[in-house]
Each structure stands twice: as structure tokens, then as C-alpha cells.
């Protein structure tokens, strides 16, 4: 028995704590058990276990720990042990790499907190996207402090937890090899327009390279980095397992030797080799540190929502792409279905296990069993079930957290096929219904929106202006899918949020954009005589820095905004942003970063953007939200 992913602490409330893991080996659900303890004294051994077989002797498992009748003791460290045949799994023989425990503790632990005071938000974690991993660096800082009370009370991940469309070659090769060992082979749908030159009937025959030749624009794929694009359900599952630690901790190097200064190579070949090794070095550093992320996630309750890269770049970006990726019996539909199946197991299940129970018990087993032989009807039925499902849910945190699905609930106005409504009217009704279940005294609300509700307007208006001029080509080049692409729908979304009658503070946690910043937007409550403050708290990225033209454009727009100038030909109005304390002329950071929202009193709230500098040191951008300093 091996624990190839997890344990990941997911949904936690006063009565339960959910733990996700993937086990490899002969599996009998009845042989799996768990116990909790407080200060080494037994607390409870009552558990509920759900599982789904995903591969050959490979099972994804959700263990629900039940609290004593009085509930979890608040803020005490509660240790948990997972046992198989009454043997603890927290032993070296059951794990690849270090055990997910901190010094001085034989087991992982968690704290139940009735009122969350320290809330982490983060997004965009690409293995080869940077030289560092901000989550691994954060774990290192906890380790150095040797104080588990420095851990956040809860973590929210706001999209791009994996990158399916932009995969390092050595990672792609490793995942492909593991898919052949741990999973059954998968049959492929036929390509459109008889594009069979690069098609094979099964993944094992297709291999892991040159997939961009098959997953092209005719199929609905617009990524510019799709040479190793994930396709199979197995590959999507394995990418999550790799990213969250446990699958491996060292990647084999490329077959081609690292170029040396004295090598007389043509410029193009030398550049390609250099980029190959740079990507590998970043990816291998990421993998070598993944055990730290595994340890962090074993101790902190986490909730998450997808953006596009969990499926493919520009997923449902335009009406045309949406139609292409939905076409029956197509590779596009197959890839989206595989991606959503893996998302359901690895992300949505832990957000709300009860909500996903029908998918885990009925829908996904049928899909997985049918993978070796392509079944168009099976894929069509599963696609319709997953792609039409609203994954929006409420997390049982305090303040309550609304996790918003902005991908499967999109629609387009008939005259604006390039500008998505990130949530349609039906989704807004669902959001209102969820919020109606909150206590009437609720004054604070967390909203997890993968794309910022109130973004860096100077850049967003350029993106939308480019789409106006260059149409679909620009839409896929600049990602013109911000909330302000349809201000009427944004207003309706704000109205749905302010349906909470006593709401005063709404904290919008976002990512997506590969830079961090804060904004404040104040709206009058539609029913009561008070204002509602929307705090846009954007943290991006964990491991994917902006590069090239994007980095230059971002820097120019940021500098002009600070100076009160505009290089934006599409500028409509002046916007305000929050300046960090100890102002040094910057309100936006393109460095790796994590966000920490601190709510330590009813009338006190602070935000800190933990910026990871290139040499590994942290720099904190602090914001006192009670006395915000606005960029005028």
C-alpha cells in the first residue's frame, strides 16, 4: 500500500473533517479506519469512508472524521491517524518522500476554528512557471518558526491548481509512463475533418509528444503551448497527484545534453535546448519541493475552484470555443469530460462531499470503466452531466465563503459571441438561493471568484478594446474574459451578493492574472440604508510569473497609473487601488505571492500580500482595510 496523494485536509466544520487521499495497492474499504486524538488522548474513531476506483489498484478516498458529540474542541491541535488493517499509514514505507508531519509531531493535525481569523488565498501553480513555489516556501517558513499556530485557519485556491495545456516535457513523459502503469489504456475519439495524420486509436500509441498537431484550433484548442497537452483521464489525475506531492520527488533529466558555452550549435537549436533545460530545472525544483506542499495541505482546510487551465487554455472563452469543445463524439468534448471528471474527484469532492456523492458513486465509475473502448454515448452523457452542473457552493467557514463556478455557467449574448457572461441568470438565481440560507446577522462574506470582479481596469480595457478590433484572434491572445466585459451582468452579480440583508464587508478572493493587487469598491445596499464594501483581494501567482510582452505591458500600465497618466487608448474612467503601507510607488506586484486576510476583531480587518522575492526572502505588502490608503 502506498499513499500517492494526500492526505489533504478539505472541508471542516464543527462536527466533521474531510480528508482526501489516493491509495495504490490492494484495497478493502472495510480495512481502512481513522482515529483522532487531543493531547495524545483518544478523541473519536467514528468515521465515514467513500471511495472511487480510478485505476489499477488505485483508489481515490474521502475520509470523513466525525467529532465527539460536543463537537471539535476549538483551536486545539487535533491529530489524526489513518490506519489500514489497524496499521498506521504514517510510516515511511507507505510514502514516497518525507512524511507529511512537522517536527515534534508523529501525526498530522488540524484546528477547528469557529471564526476564521487567518485566511490564505492563492492561485496559478505551474510546475515550470518559475524557479520557486510560493506554497513550498510558505511551508518552509512554518517549519522554521516551529509553531503550528502560524498556519492559516483556512486556504482558498482560486484557480489553475494544475496546468493541463502547458506541460513541461519531462513531466509529460513521466505522467505518460505512469499512466501506462497505474491506469488502463484509453481510447480516443476521432478527430474532426478526418485529421488522422497525427491520430492514434489509443493513448498508449499516441505517445506524449507533438499533441498540438492533434489538439488544434479545429478541435477547439487555442493554447500556444500545447505540445504535451494532457488528454486522458489518467493524465489529468496524475497531474493533480504530482502537483500536490507524493507521486515523485525527482524527475529524470532530458535525453539531450545541456548546452555548453563552447558548443558550436546553430542559434535556434541552442535556444531550444536552453529553454528545454530551463523548463526542466524549474519543474524539477517544483517536484523536489512538492512534499512540502503535501505537508502544508495535510494541516490546513482547503477549498478551491477551477479556472481554465485545469481543462485547457481559453476553455469556454468565446461562443465558438464553447461550441467546438461541446461537439458530440469529438476530441474536444472528450478532453473536457476527462478534465471535469478529474476536477470533480480532486477539487469539487472535497469542497462539498455530499453534493458530489451522486457523481462519485454513479456517474464517474461508469465513465472510468468505459475508458478502454471509446463510447461516444457514455462521453456525451457524462459531459452533459458535468458541463451543465453548477459547481458553485458555500463553504462552512466563518465568514461564510461562496465559491463561484465561472466556467460551466457561462453564456453569451446573441450579438456578443466574444464576450462571455461569466455566470448566467440561472447561476445568479442559484447564488441567491445559497445566500438566502445564511444567518440574517451575516455581515461579512467571502466570495471566491477565479477572475477578479474588480480587476486592473487599465489592462482589462486594453484587452477588451483589442477584441473589439481584432475579434476572435485577439480574444484568444489577450484573454478578454473579465467581469467588465458585460457590466450589466456584473451589476446583477453584485445585486445577488447584496441580497444578504446585513452584509457590510465582502472580500473577493481572486487569482488568474499572474499579478497581485487590492481594490475597494463601495456599493449602496439595495434594501437597507448602508454601504457594502467590496474588497478585491487578488493573489497570483504561486508559481507562474508574467513574462515577455505581458511583463513589459504590465509594468508600463502600472507605472502610468501610479503617475496619474494613461497610455490606454480605451480608458473610460479613473479607477482607484489600495496602496500598501510603507508606500514605495507600487500597488501591483508581478512576483510570486500569497494573500493573507486577517479578521481578528469585528471592527478590524487587514490584508497582507506575501511577496516572494527571487532570492527566496519574503516581503509583506500590508493593508489596513479599516483605514485604507487609496491611490488617488
CA distance 22 to 273: 36
Q: How far apart are CA 374 and CA 319, in angstroms?
A: 27
Neighbours of 225 (CB within 10 A): 12
Instruction: Give pLDDT, residue 548.
Output: 74
pLDDT tens profile 491-512:
999 999 999 999 999 999 999 9
Which of the two residues, 194 and 35, has the higher pLDDT score? 35
Residues 361, 363, 368, 369, Cα dihedral to 10°: 80
Of 593, 451, 541, 611, the residue nearest 124 (C-alpha): 541
Cell of 357: 456523492
The pLDDT score that the predictor gives to residue 299 is 98
Considering only residues 565 and 289, tell me which one the structure prediction assigns the higher pLDDT: 289
Q: Which residues of 422-435 are buried (b: 16+ CB within 10 A; e: fewer)?
A: bbbeebbebbeebb
For 383-442, what is each residue's pLDDT tens digit? 999 999 999 999 999 999 999 999 999 999 999 999 999 999 999 999 999 999 999 999
Arithmetic mean of pLDDT, 141-158 = 96
pLDDT at res. 568: 56
Contact 27, 110 (CB under 8 A): no
Residue recorded with cell 454513479: 362
Mean pLDDT of the chain: 94
pTM over 0.95: yes
Contact 451, 482 (CB under 8 A): yes
- What are the structural domains, with CATH classification, of the chain? 2-110 (2.60.40.10), 390-535+547-594+605-620 (no CATH)
Question: Residues 144-152: what's their mean pLDDT?
Answer: 94
Over residues 157-163, mean pLDDT? 98
Return the pLDDT at 558.
86
Give the model's pLDDT for residue 575.
56
Q: 614's torsion region: left (phi>0), alpha (psi -120 to 50) or beta?
A: alpha
How far apart (Å, rounded) are the C-alpha atoms in residues 360 and 349?
A: 8
- The model's pLDDT over 317-361, given as tens digits with 9 standing for 90+, comes to 999 999 999 999 999 999 999 999 999 999 999 999 999 999 999
The better pLDDT of the pair 258, 239 is held by 239
- Rounded Cα–Cα distance for residues 415 and 398 (Å): 41
Least confident of 21-35, 144-158, 426-440, 550-564: 550-564
- Check: CB of residue 145 under 8 Å from CB of residue 104: no
How far from the centroid of its chain's Cα atoms is residue 182's Cα?
A: 24
Q: Check whether 195 has a pLDDT greater than 90.
A: no
d(CA 584, CA 176): 47
CA–CA gap between residue 593 and residue 609 (Å, rounded): 6
pLDDT tens, position by position, 201-253: 999 999 999 999 999 999 999 999 999 999 999 999 999 999 999 999 999 99
More confident residue, 259 or 75: 75
SS3 432: helix
Amino acid at each position: 500500500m502506498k499513499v500517492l496523494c494526500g492526505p489533504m485536509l478539505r472541508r471542516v466544520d464543527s462536527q466533521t473533517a474531510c480528508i482526501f487521499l489516493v491509495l495504490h495497492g490492494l484495497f478493502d474499504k472495510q480495512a481502512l479506519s481513522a482515529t483522532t486524538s487531543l493531547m495524545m488522548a483518544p478523541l473519536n474513531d467514528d468515521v465515514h469512508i467513500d471511495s472511487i476506483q480510478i485505476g489499477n489498484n488505485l483508489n481515490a478516498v474521502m475520509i470523513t472524521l466525525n467529532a465527539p458529540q460536543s463537537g471539535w474542541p476549538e483551536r486545539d491541535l487535533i491529530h489524526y491517524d489513518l490506519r489500514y488493517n489497524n496499521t498506521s499509514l504514517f510510516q515511511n514505507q507507505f510514502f514516497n518522500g518525507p512524511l507529511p508531519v512537522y517536527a515534534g509531531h508523529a501525526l498530522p493535525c488540524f484546528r477547528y476554528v469557529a471564526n476564521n481569523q487567518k485566511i490564505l488565498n492563492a492561485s496559478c501553480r505551474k510546475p515550470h512557471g518559475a524557479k520557486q513555489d510560493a506554497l513550498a516556501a510558505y511551508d518552509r517558513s512554518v517549519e522554521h518558526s516551529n509553531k503550528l499556530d502560524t498556519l492559516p485557519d483556512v486556504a482558498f485556491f482560486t484557480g489553475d491548481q494544475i496546468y493541463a495545456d502547458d506541460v513541461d516535457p519531462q513531466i509529460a513523459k513521466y505522467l505518460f509512463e505512469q499512466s501506462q502503469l497505474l491506469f488502463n489504456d484509453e481510447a480516443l475519439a476521432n478527430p474532426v475533418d478526418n485529421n488522422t495524420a497525427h491520430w492514434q486509436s489509443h493513448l498508449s500509441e499516441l505517445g506524449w509528444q507533438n499533441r498540438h498537431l492533434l489538439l488544434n484550433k479545429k478541435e477547439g484548442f487555442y493554447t500556444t503551448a500545447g505540445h504535451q497537452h494532457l488528454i486522458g483521464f489518467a493524465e489529468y489525475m496524475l497531474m493533480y497527484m504530482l502537483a500536490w506531492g507524493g507521486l515523485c520527488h525527482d524527475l529524470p533529466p532530458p535525453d539531450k545534453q545541456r548546452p555548453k558555452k563552447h558548443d558550436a550549435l546553430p542559434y535556434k537549436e541552442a535556444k531550444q535546448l536552453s529553454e528545454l533545460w530551463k523548463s526542466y530545472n524549474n519543474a524539477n525544483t517544483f517536484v523536489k519541493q512538492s512534499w512540502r506542499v503535501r505537508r502544508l495541505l495535510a494541516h490546513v482546510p482547503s477549498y478551491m475552484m477551477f479556472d481554465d487551465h485545469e481543462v485547457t487554455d481559453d476553455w469556454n472563452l468565446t461562443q465558438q470555443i464553447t461550441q467546438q469543445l461541446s461537439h458530440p463524439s469529438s476530441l474536444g468534448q472528450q478532453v473536457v469530460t476527462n478534465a471535469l471528471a478529474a476536477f470533480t474527484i480532486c477539487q469539487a469532492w472535497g469542497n462539498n462531499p455530499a453534493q458530489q456523492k451522486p457523481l462519485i458513486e454513479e456517474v464517474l465509475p461508469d465513465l472510468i470503466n468505459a475508458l478502454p473502448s471509446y463510447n461516444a454515448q457514455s462521453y456525451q452523457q457524462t459531459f452533459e452531466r458535468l458541463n451543465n452542473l453548477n459547481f458553485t457552493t458555500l463553504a462552512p467557514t466563518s465568514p461564510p465563503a461562496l465559491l463561484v463556478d465561472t466556467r460551466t455557467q457561462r453564456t453569451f449574448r446573441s450579438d456578443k459571441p466574444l464576450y462571455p457572461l461569466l455566470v448566467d441568470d440561472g447561476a445568479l438565481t442559484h447564488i441567491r438561493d445559497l445566500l438566502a440560507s445564511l444567518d440574517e446577522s451575516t455581515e461579512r462574506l467571502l466570495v471566491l471568484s477565479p477572475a477578479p470582479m474588480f480587476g486592473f481596469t487599465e489592462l482589462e480595457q486594453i484587452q477588451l478594446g483589442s477584441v473589439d478590433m481584432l475579434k476572435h484572434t485577439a480574444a484568444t491572445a489577450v484573454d478578454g474574459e473579465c467581469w467588465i466585459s458585460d457590466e450589466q451582468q456584473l451589476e446583477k452579480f453584485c445585486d445577488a451578493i447584496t441580497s444578504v440583508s446585513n452584509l457590510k464587508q465582502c472580500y473577493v478572493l481572486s487569482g488568474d492574472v499572474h499579478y497581485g493587487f487590492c481594490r475597494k469598491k463601495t456599493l449602496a445596499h439595495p434594501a437597507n440604508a448602508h454601504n457594502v464594501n467590496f474588497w478585491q483581494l487578488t493573489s497570483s501567482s504561486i508559481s507562474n510569473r508574467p513574462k515577455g510582452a505581458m511583463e513589459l505591458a504590465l509594468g508600463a500600465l502600472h507605472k502610468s497609473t501610479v503617475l496619474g497618466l494613461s497610455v490606454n487608448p480605451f480608458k473610460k474612467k479613473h479607477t482607484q487601488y489600495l496602496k500598501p503601507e510603507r508606500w514605495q510607488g507600487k500597488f501591483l506586484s508581478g512576483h510570486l505571492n500569497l494573500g493573507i486576510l486577517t479578521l481578528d476583531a469585528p471592527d478590524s480587518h487587514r490584508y497582507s500580500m506575501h511577496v516572494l522575492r527571487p532570492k527566496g526572502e519574503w516581503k509583506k505588502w500590508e493593508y489596513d482595510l479599516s483605514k485604507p490608503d487609496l491611490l488617488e
